[in-house]
Amino acid sequence: MIIHHGYFRSSSSYRCRIALNLKAVEGYYRPIHLLKDGGQQNSEAYAALNPQRLVPAFELDDGRVLTQSPAILEWIEETYPNPPLLPSCAIDRARVRAFCAVISCDIHPLQNLRVLQFLTAQFGADQEAKNQWCQRWISDGLAAAEKLLKNRLSTRFAFGDAPGMAEVYLIPQMYSADRFGVDLTNVPRLCEVAQACGGVDAFRAAHPSVQADAE
Amino acid sequence: MIIHHGYFRSSSSYRCRIALNLKAVEGYYRPIHLLKDGGQQNSEAYAALNPQRLVPAFELDDGRVLTQSPAILEWIEETYPNPPLLPSCAIDRARVRAFCAVISCDIHPLQNLRVLQFLTAQFGADQEAKNQWCQRWISDGLAAAEKLLKNRLSTRFAFGDAPGMAEVYLIPQMYSADRFGVDLTNVPRLCEVAQACGGVDAFRAAHPSVQADAE
């Protein structure tokens, strides 16, 4: 069984939980608390597993370890092809992956815990300044993601009638947007998609609030 | 023919040039100057092509447009399978993609032009402070990438004897590291790989300094 070393509030870990649930693949979720004990990811045991000291890390049966959620998610898609999380045509896959990259490259890295900590260390940013920083990038990025869905047929989910990779990235980002108090009135389509996901068990069971390490 | 809307100095655009060259796919490179004329990516014509106003954008023969370099690169790999830029086994692919994600998610987004501009706007960061910011993330990220190559067999390139997706991401990042004056003494393996790429035409022809819009 896959051991998923994660943290309830980490977007990257949340993505992996959704993907495993959508594929109905059982994983054992082992919480790594990013703040307690000076950050449990900094323990020697965890650093041996993932020298980058980030979550998630997937430990496979044979002891091999996979890191970086974009790589893990492609591995999940390739290893457990059903149901598919990406469309069958290359151009359509590129469109979905572009949507995912807006979130994984243009938004998420900027609201990362270590980045916020460094904003304080280098520029003396207080909580309000850090919230403004996050709001700026989340708001810009979600507006860009919303535009990528413009002119699409009206489907229940972002790229079709079943949730897929787009929602795997989107839902954790919408959760983050909520935490940072981002105004979502200019992304109505993303809100609709998020609402549709709210009715799907795979998403509900992956929510941070129902994980073993939730606070 | 693919029209590659790019900028000589953009890492994402540089990645796409390398990948097209490695596949021997002809593309027409159309420069979009990110600073001139208030940023040519902000023109109406370009915004119509890519509403996110970022480079690269790939315009295909039928007018369809692809954006976001991680998505474009996977599309190139799928559409022009030879020579492959990713290994044939899923676990190995996940390893290479993790290496790429360290660069595309943990380093590159933080040294982005619009992020540096916002550091000045929000925190009054001067050039030195921005250089420090970039050095921190490039240095940390490259050290993580170096660790991912530890314990690997000694091959000419990062994951084998031919360059692939790892080098497509690495080389533009090493170029950036040089621009920001990052000390590379603790990443000797990455330096070796970069040196090996320096002998390959596909990389030489993709270098920013030999593009039509080079300064």
The whole-angstrom separation of Cα A214 and Cα A67 is 22
Q: At what angle do helices B127-148 and B165-179 cross, to 10 degrees?
A: 150
Residues B47 and B111 in one domain: no
Residues A76 and A94 in one domain: no
A105 in contact with B, Cβ within 8 Å = yes
Q: Please report the pLDDT score of residue B36 as a whole number.
A: 87
The whole-angstrom separation of Cα B70 and Cα A100 is 9
Q: Please report the pLDDT score of residue A37 as a whole number.
A: 87
Residues A142 and A65 in one domain: no
Q: Please report the pLDDT score of residue A83 as a whole number.
A: 98
Q: Please report the pLDDT score of residue A64 as a whole number.
A: 95
Q: Please report the pLDDT score of residue A154 as a whole number.
A: 83
For residues B202 and B163, the answer to whether their CB atoms sit within 8 Å is yes
Residues B25 and B70 in one domain: yes
Q: Which two tokens stand for residue A52?
A: 């980058």
Nearest-CB residue to A52 (from B93, B108, B144): B144
For residues A166 and A18, the answer to whether their CB atoms sit within 8 Å is no
Establish if A9 belongs to a structural domain. Answer: yes
* Cβ neighbours for A195, distance < 8 A, ≥ 6 positions apart: none
At A107, which helix (H) or strand (E)? none
Establish if A209 belongs to a structural domain. Answer: no
* Listed residues B68, B83, B98: the one ending a domain: B83
* Closest-CA residue of chain B to A48: B147
* Cβ neighbours for B63, distance < 8 A, ≥ 6 positions apart: none
Residues A70 and A94 in one domain: no
Residues A105 and A194 in one domain: yes
For residues A182 and A139, the answer to whether their CB atoms sit within 8 Å is yes
pLDDT tens-place string over residues B126-150: 999 999 999 999 999 999 999 999 8
Establish if B215 belongs to a structural domain. Answer: no
pLDDT, averaged in runs of 10, over chain B (215 residues): 96 98 96 89 92 94 96 98 97 98 97 92 95 96 94 88 98 96 96 98 98 94
* Closest-CA residue of chain A to B150: A51
A-B Cβ pairs (cutoff 8 Å, strict): 129
Of A3-17, A143-157, B124-138, which gets the smallest average pLDDT?
A: A143-157
For residues A158 and A166, the answer to whether their CB atoms sit within 8 Å is yes
What CATH number did the domain enclosing B191 receive?
A: 1.20.1050.10
Establish if B209 belongs to a structural domain. Answer: no
pLDDT tens-place string over residues B174-195: 999 999 999 999 999 999 999 9
pLDDT above 90: percentage of residues in chain A? 91
Residues B22 and B107 in one domain: no
Residues A137 and A160 in one domain: yes
pLDDT tens-place string over residues A16-54: 999 999 999 999 999 999 888 888 999 999 999 998 999
* Listed residues B25, B49, B83: the one ending a domain: B83
Q: Which two tokens stand for residue A29?
A: 């979720």
Establish if A166 belongs to a structural domain. Answer: yes
CA distances from B66 to A120, B49, B134, B146, B172 (A): 37, 9, 28, 31, 20
Residues A128 and A150 in one domain: yes
Mutate to test the interface with B, among A11, A16, A52 (most CBs of B within 10 A): A52
Domain assignment of residue A34, given as a range: 2-83
Establish if A214 belongs to a structural domain. Answer: no
Residues A116 and A62 in one domain: no
A27-31 and A65-67 beta bridge pairing: unpaired
B108 in contact with A, Cβ within 8 Å = yes
* Listed residues A29, A60, A83: the one ending a domain: A83
Q: Against a cut of 0.90, is the pTM above it?
A: yes
B79 in contact with A, Cβ within 8 Å = yes
The total number of structural domains that make up chain A? 2
Q: Give the closest-approach CA distance of B199 to chain A in angstroms.
A: 29
What CATH number did the domain enclosing A28 receive?
A: 3.40.30.10
For residues A86 and A76, the answer to whether their CB atoms sit within 8 Å is no
Q: Give the closest-approach CA distance of A51 to chain B in angstroms.
A: 7
The whole-angstrom separation of Cα A5 and Cα A55 is 6
Question: Which among B142, B92, B116 has a CA at the least distance from the CA of B35?
Answer: B116
Residues in chain A closer than 8 A to B105 (CB atoms): 68, 70, 104-105, 108-109
Residues A116 and A197 in one domain: yes
Question: Which among A24, A106, A16 has a CA at the least distance from the CA of A32?
Answer: A16
* Closest-CA residue of chain B to A100: B71
Mutate to test the interface with A, among B12, B46, B100, B105 (most CBs of A within 10 A): B105
Q: Which two tokens stand for residue B28?
A: 């027409």
Count the residues in chain A: 215
The whole-angstrom separation of Cα B197 and Cα B210 is 16
* Degrees, nearest 5: CA angle B63-B165-A57: 115
Confidence of residue A143 (pLDDT cuts 50, 70, 90): very high
Establish if A213 belongs to a structural domain. Answer: no
Establish if A176 belongs to a structural domain. Answer: yes
pLDDT tens-place string over residues A86-102: 999 999 999 999 999 99
A102 in contact with B, Cβ within 8 Å = yes
Residues A50 and A125 in one domain: no
pLDDT tens-place string over residues B67-76: 999 999 999 9
